[in-house]
Structure formats: C-alpha cells, structure tokens
Amino acid sequence: MLILASGSPRRKELLSLITDEFEVLVSGCDEFIPEGTPAEKVPAILAEQKALAVAKLRPEDTVIGSDTVVVLNDEIFGKPKDKEHAHAMLKALSGKKHFVYTGVAVAENDKVRSFVQKTEVEFYELSDETIDKYIETLEPMDKAGAYGIQGKGSVLVKGIVGDYFNVMGLPVAETARFLGFV
C-alpha cells in the first residue's frame, strides 16, 4: 500500500492525480535541519524524515513524504507565525523572483530515496493594501511563503518557470515517474 505521510489537503489532491490507491498517515515527527544546510537541500531532508517516521510504523508499505520551502536570497520562508509575519514575507517577495523547492522522499524496504524539484516564481509589485486584503482571506496563514498559487494568491503571481504543481506542494509528473507509475 502507498502511504502519504502528510496531512496537507493539497498533497492528497495532487497525489490522487497519480493514483487513488493510497492512505494518509501524518508523520508527526520532530523536524531537524543540520546547521549550515543549503536552503535547496532542506525539503529533501524534511521529506525523508517524514517518510522514515511513518515507514517505522508501516514497514511493509511504500511511504511518500514531502516538504516545500520558498526561498528568496538563500532565506527560507516557511509558514507565517501571524498576520504581521505574513505581511513581511509578502512584502519581501513583492516585485521579485524567488524559488520554490519541494522535496519528495519514498521510503520502502528500509531504504529512502528522494529528489528536489525547483520552480521559479515571480511576483507582481504588491501594494500594502493588496497584501493586507490577501491576508484578510486567511489563505496565507498555512502556506510556505505566505501564499497559495492555486487560490486567491494566484493574483500575486506574474509568472513561473517550472512545475506549477511543485509550487502547490507536490511535483506531480516527476513524482509519478519517481514512483514508477509512468
């Protein structure tokens, strides 16, 4: 059985584009990033930790873990702590290009393998009023980088280079190939 080690409704939706034959089991593991880890390597490390934590509970199954980070100038933008933090993130991203990295890890037979997908995202120049209006929707509060490209945050995005689904949290085409579905 394929197990998705994530409670993200977006990842569940995206994995269902590949297969309907999976279960969800949230890892709940403590995430640890070694000091000095380059930002682009962080998502794979976290994805591996999540996949391995669930694989310990379900060793006979194939477990997929995933993690997404937004990076601007080597700084990781995680989920905002509050509305002020969300505003600061969106202001920093305003009018700039940044990168979204999603790590995908597959644990099976006591082994884990992973990859990282990178997508470049460019934002329009955003006024404080636009930022505040978006934050009031509460959409940014549970998203890396304080925006969701698939929702109301789509109006902030000038363009992307790379996999759209990667920005949502799971690069569908590469994941399907990595799992051997394609």
What is residue 20's DSSP assignment? S
Contact partners, residue 56, CB within 8 Å, separation at least 6: none
Of the pLDDT bands very low, low, confident and very high (cuts 50, 70, 90), residue 24 is: very high
> What are the residue numbers of the active site?
67
* Entry pTM: 0.95
Q: Residues with Cβ < 8 Å from 125, sequence gap 6 or more? A: 94, 95
Helices in the chain by DSSP H: which ranges?
A: 9-15, 42-57, 83-93, 128-136, 164-168, 172-178
Identify the pLDDT of residue 116.
98
Domain ranges, ordered by start, for the chain: 2-178
34-85 per-position pLDDT tens digit: 999 999 999 999 999 999 999 999 999 999 999 999 999 999 999 999 999 9
Task: Give the pLDDT confidence of 77-128 residue by residue, as tens digits.
Answer: 999 999 999 999 999 999 999 999 999 999 998 899 999 999 999 999 999 9
Question: Per-residue confidence at 30, pLDDT binned at 50, 70, 90?
Answer: confident
Exposed e or buried b per residue across 23-37, where buried means at least 16 C-beta atoms within 10 angstroms of its C-beta: eebebebeeeeeeee
Please state which CATH class domain 2-178 belongs to: alpha beta
